[in-house]
Amino acid sequence: MGNLNGMRTIGGRLKVAFVLTVAILVVEVVAGWAAHSLALLADAGHILTDVFALGLAWFAVYQAHRPADSLRTYGYHRVGILTAMVNAVTLIAVVAAIAFEAVRRLQHPAPVQGGLVVAAALAAIIINAFIGLSLRGGGGDLNVRGALLHVVGDLAASAGVVAAGAIVLLTGWLYADPLVSLAVAALIAFGAIGVVRTAVNVLLEGMPTGIDLEAVRAEIMSSGDVESVHDLHVWSLSSAETALSCHVVVEEGTLAAAEQAVRRLEGRLCQRFGIGHTTIQLERSQPCVGDGGHGPGQHNHPHPARGT
């Protein structure tokens, strides 16, 4: 219940962030049009992608907590991962557009209008700072992290517009605008690549960050009831959900004792590694052969069609 309430709180913050970002977009489009400022209109284009990103993030938070069903037996946790991937790819596209425009402006410098441009960018900075502070409570959720990166990118871009506009106003040096834009693009790209790498690792069911497979194996083997462990797999369902499956060979004893041993083991794995989904198969007289990524026909289980 606490986790659900926490995600509802994050969903509410994303909703507020979405509405405020739409307000920034309107302000920058109107100001950019009135001031004939390509810099502000370009920043408004960047903010338009953030409206899309925050809307998707808001949608994904609620989707992730839909109950599991017969089609999605693990639930909808990975909606957030897919959304984070879309957001990151969108950011990379924005970086390419900013870099292209910056190179064009280096070749053909464009005038930047003064006071109105700086005022609109400062307003965007204030609102985005508020949004960023409200989203910091998103914890390790990759979806919220992707949305937060968009907001940070907005902050950096708006600060760049203010700095470039001030430099042009004070010195008349028109190259400030494209140079600052390139620096902003590099900052956004760095964060976006990190989100893509993490999302790809989750989608490929890679090891969660911060968990060592051998440490998990050692924790399982530390139980006095376990003789050996094999076919051990640990993977991410989402940025906040981790799953584990394994086969353990246990000492001879009653079924009740074995079940109690499994419950104790599940508790230790959850407490130490945060693994909330565990599937532990008990074996005694005839353990499966081999370790690693088994598929059909790679265990020594009797074949259902042959009964052998």
Could you give phi then psi for residue 230, rounded to 5 degrees?
-150, 175
Q: What is the reported pTM?
A: 0.65
Q: What is the pLDDT of residue 208?
A: 85
Alpha helices (runs of H) in 64-175, residue ranges in sequence order: 79-107, 115-135, 142-171
Q: What confidence tens digit (pLDDT) does each residue in 165-179 have?
A: 788 788 878 787 778
DSSP 275: -
pLDDT above 70: residue 303: no
131 touches 20 (CB < 8 A): yes
Domain 213-283: assigned CATH number: 3.30.70.1350
Q: Where are the domains of the chain?
A: 2-203, 213-283
Instruction: For residue 209, give the DSSP letter.
Output: T
Distance CA(9)–CA(12), nearest Å, equals 5
Q: Please count the residues of the chain.
A: 308
Q: Provide mean pLDDT across the span 273-287.
A: 80
Candidate ranges 31-45, 133-147, 208-222; pick with highest mean pLDDT = 208-222
Q: Kindly tell me if the per-residue pLDDT of 21 is higher than 70.
A: yes
Pick from 144, 246, 135, 278: nearest CA to 198? 144
170 CB neighbour count, 10 Å cutoff: 10
Mean pLDDT of the chain: 77
- Residue 242, phi then psi, degrees to nearest 5: -120, 140
Structural contact between residues 81 and 195, judged by C-beta atoms closer than 8 angstroms: no
Closest CA to 53 of 179, 143, 126, 159: 143
**pLDDT (0 to 100) of residue 217:** 93
DSSP-derived pairing of the beta strands 277-283 and 242-250: parallel
Look at domain 2-203 and name its CATH class.
Answer: mainly alpha
**pLDDT, tens digit, 9 for 90 and up, residues 66-93:** 777 777 776 666 777 777 788 778 878 8
Domains 2-203 and 213-283 share a fold: no
Share of the chain above pLDDT 90, in %: 6
- According to DSSP, the residues that pair with 226 across neighbouring strands are 250
